Amino acid sequence: MKFASLLKIVHLDGFVQCIVEACTGCAQRLSAQVKRIAYRRALKGRRDDLSRTDFGPKVLVVISGGGIGNAVEATPLVQGVRALWPKAVMTVVVPHGDLFENWCVPDHITDSQEDVRGASFDHSFFPYPFLSAISPWRQVCDLGVVHHPRVWLRQYFLKPERQYFMDMLKPLGGKGIMPPLYVSLKEPQRHLPEASMRVCIAPGGKNELRWRHKRWLLYGSLAGMIRQTYPHAQICIIGTEEDDFPAEQRDDPHIVDLRGKLTLAETAWILKKASLAVGNDCGPMHIACAVQTPAITIFGPTCAIKNAPWNKGVALITPAECGPCQYDARLETCSDPRCLNEITPQMVMAKMTEILKQTEIVGQV
């Protein structure tokens, strides 16, 4: 005979149920009391920390000293400062535009020196290694302790620039993993047709004469090959109006010319919605890395280690013994940029096909 059946016969099943319920109630009350005691002990230990109203150091971070790509690469530094000093009052000076609009990490964001004129800071960070660019800021505000990267081999950078930037925090106690790149996203006002596959091309780069060899000149041929290989693909040309792209291909309904028609945050949105991005070593390619879009960056005379793509980005390089000449007088006098001219549209297409197959985009077209 089962024990439960025996209890029913002698009419003890209800009594046992009452005892079980009583014990359960006691256990629950005891558990709640233990939790309250543990919470009160923890609160007593942290009471002073939780009620403190004093803030951390006043910090200035200037990420507007270079191009758009340099600014994007400096965003991990801003997050690293916040992690190091959670209560710091941080002001970040950014390039003009909306690329860092509504960023929640800094306390104040500005694109003008005038907004910090006469201010006083405890620490100032300048994520670029040229000390001459820091001097004018000393006339604007009290910089406090100045921090800047140390690049001992000058143009021969041995690690990505974002790592040099983060190294500034090590003497202050900064440690941990590299924070991600950051950019703001804004849906464009301009209507863009839906596409199952979208490829963004960024044919730009700085307009100064010395940077002319950063610009690969075969994007027209590449666009034609993309149209032949992936007939249903939409090709978006992004950048400024000064960025070269063949006029004869702009009438193709599958090629959307967005040069000069997007803000930086809208460019980031377009790149986020793209299957792949291809471009020179320029700002939009750093934005592509920030939004986790697979990207192929074409390198010429610039330092591929310093400007290396991150996340899902890859570099297309034909190493030349004379490179890199990014910070060398040879950059202006070179008449045969083999480092760039040896890259063919076929090489770019081969890399594109490899990436698209890995991301399973081709099968959706």
The answer to whether position 285 is within a domain reads yes
Residues 254 and 133 in one domain: no
Residues 352 and 214 in one domain: yes
Residues 218 and 340 in one domain: yes
Say which residue the tokens 């800021």 belong to: 137
Nearest to 63 by CA among 121, 105, 107, 110: 110
Question: Number of structural domains, the chain?
Answer: 2
The answer to whether position 102 is within a domain reads yes
Q: What are phi and psi of 129, to 5 degrees?
A: -85, 5
Residues 92 and 151 in one domain: yes
Q: Determine how many CB atoms are found less than 10 A away from the CB of residue 214.
A: 22
Nearest to 245 by CA among 275, 283, 277, 216: 216
Taking the C-alpha atoms of residue 48 and residue 255, their distance in angstroms, rounded to an integer, is 62
The alpha-helical segments, DSSP class H, found in the chain are 3-9, 13-51, 68-73, 75-84, 135-138, 161-167, 219-229, 264-272, 283-290, 330-333, 338-341, 345-358
Nearest to 236 by CA among 294, 279, 281: 279
Residues 289 and 158 in one domain: no
Residue 231: both structure tokens together: 């007939």
Q: Is 77 exposed, middle or buried (0-12, 13-18, 19+ CB in 10 A)?
A: buried
The pLDDT score that the predictor gives to residue 128 is 81
Q: Give me the tens of pLDDT residue by residue for the chain, a chain 365 residues long.
A: 555 565 455 555 565 567 766 777 788 888 889 999 998 888 888 887 777 777 889 999 999 988 899 999 999 999 999 999 999 999 999 999 999 999 999 999 999 999 999 999 999 999 986 777 888 999 999 999 999 998 877 667 889 999 999 999 999 999 889 999 999 999 998 888 888 899 999 998 877 777 788 899 999 999 999 999 999 999 999 999 989 888 777 778 899 999 999 999 999 999 999 999 999 999 999 999 999 999 999 999 888 989 988 889 999 998 778 878 887 777 788 888 888 889 999 999 999 999 998 886 544 54
Pairing of strands 108-110, 123-125: unpaired
Taking the C-alpha atoms of residue 166 and residue 78, their distance in angstroms, rounded to an integer, is 9
CATH assignment of the domain containing 298? 3.40.50.2000
Number of residues that this document lists for the chain: 365
Q: Is 334 left (phi over 0), alpha (psi -120 to 50) or beta?
A: beta
Residues 207 and 157 in one domain: no
Residue 64: both structure tokens together: 């507007």
**What does pTM read for this prediction?**
0.86
What is the residue range of 163's domain?
Answer: 58-172
Taking the C-alpha atoms of residue 156 and residue 340, their distance in angstroms, rounded to an integer, is 19
User: What's the per-residue H, E or C state across 236-275?
Assistant: EECCCCCCCCCHHHCCCCCEEECCCCCCHHHHHHHHHCCC
The answer to whether position 46 is within a domain reads no
Residues 259 and 163 in one domain: no
Say which residue the tokens 């191009």 belong to: 67
The answer to whether position 14 is within a domain reads no
Pairing of strands 123-125, 58-62: parallel
Residues 235 and 136 in one domain: no
**How does 143-173 read in b/e, with b if 16+ C-beta sit within 10 Å?**
beeebbbebeeeeebeebbbbbbbebbeeee
The pLDDT score that the predictor gives to residue 192 is 87
Residues 145 and 85 in one domain: yes
The pLDDT score that the predictor gives to residue 10 is 52
